[in-house]
Amino acid sequence: MLNRMLVVAALCTLAAAPAAQEKAAVASKDATVLTFKLHYLEAGHGAPVVLLHGLGGDGSRWTPNVEPLVKDFHVFALDQIGFGQSDKPLANYHTGMLAEFLEDFLKAVHVPKASLVGNSMGAGVALYTAVHFPEVVDKIVLADGGGFRSPDGARSAPPDPRRRQIQNSVTREETREFFRILFHDKNLVTDRLVDDQLAMRLRSAFAISKMQEAGDRGSLTEEQVKGVKAPTLIVWGKYDELSSPAGADRLERTIPGSRKAIIDNCGHMPQIEKADEFNRIVRAFLQGGST
């Protein structure tokens, strides 16, 4: 029951609460990239680590992870362009655009190289950055996301129309339905969580729709992913209903030297649903031998 309460609190944007910020000494800041504001949370000292949220989320999604990581790392939890408190240009969003803004963000905060920890869409951004901007990447952690096109150009099965609709939810009913897909423990989907997440997703509805429409724009080939040099950890919820754990197997087979961890009793967001285990695995990986 206590774990359930902590998970719900994390998804209800506790990162914005003064008490939470005081405990972890988290600073709320803004950077400017191409005249656009990028909002982020910053805490800690040491090797830089950037946390990248999924579609429709923001940096507050990482509330359960910031404090454990700041013991050893300089942590940035970014609201990616188009999401959260960052600016939302009316653009044709795709993974490549987010990765380019990320690279410029690192320059803006004077970080020449960082480890990237991404969930879902954020994992795709981390992987794209490792391919196209390897000089700014130390290590990458791909949590329930990241992938590449089939080598023969075959398209995957079209997404379920209902699931695509509720992914850009605009009502409480749609939001509740979608988050019951994201979490293995359905009891985590409370009324408070639904209201907070609906408000967050409405603010980013344009970017969500454009990411859905992007198709192959900003996608990667298998050969590009095979060329990733950054040490890579793949973390996946065993019962992810949105992105099959088969995706973790595919990435592990393709990225040279990558490691894989499957978290039991967990869905699409292990950093929240199983925060303690996720934090332990990720910290151990990031603390590993130098790259």
Clarify whether 268 is annotated catalytic.
Answer: yes
Q: In a 3-state reduction of DSSP, which class is residue 177?
A: helix
Marked catalytic residue, from 39, 94, 184, 268 = 268
Whether 142 contacts 243, CB under 8 Å: no
Q: What is the DSSP letter of 181?
A: H
Whether 79 contacts 85, CB under 8 Å: yes
Residue of 194, 139, 143, 185 whose CA lies nearest to 166: 194
Using a 10 angstrom Cβ sphere, with 0-12 exposed, 13-18 middle and 19 or more buried, the burial of residue 264 is exposed
Q: What is the DSSP letter of 57?
A: -
Q: Which residues are catalytic?
A: 268
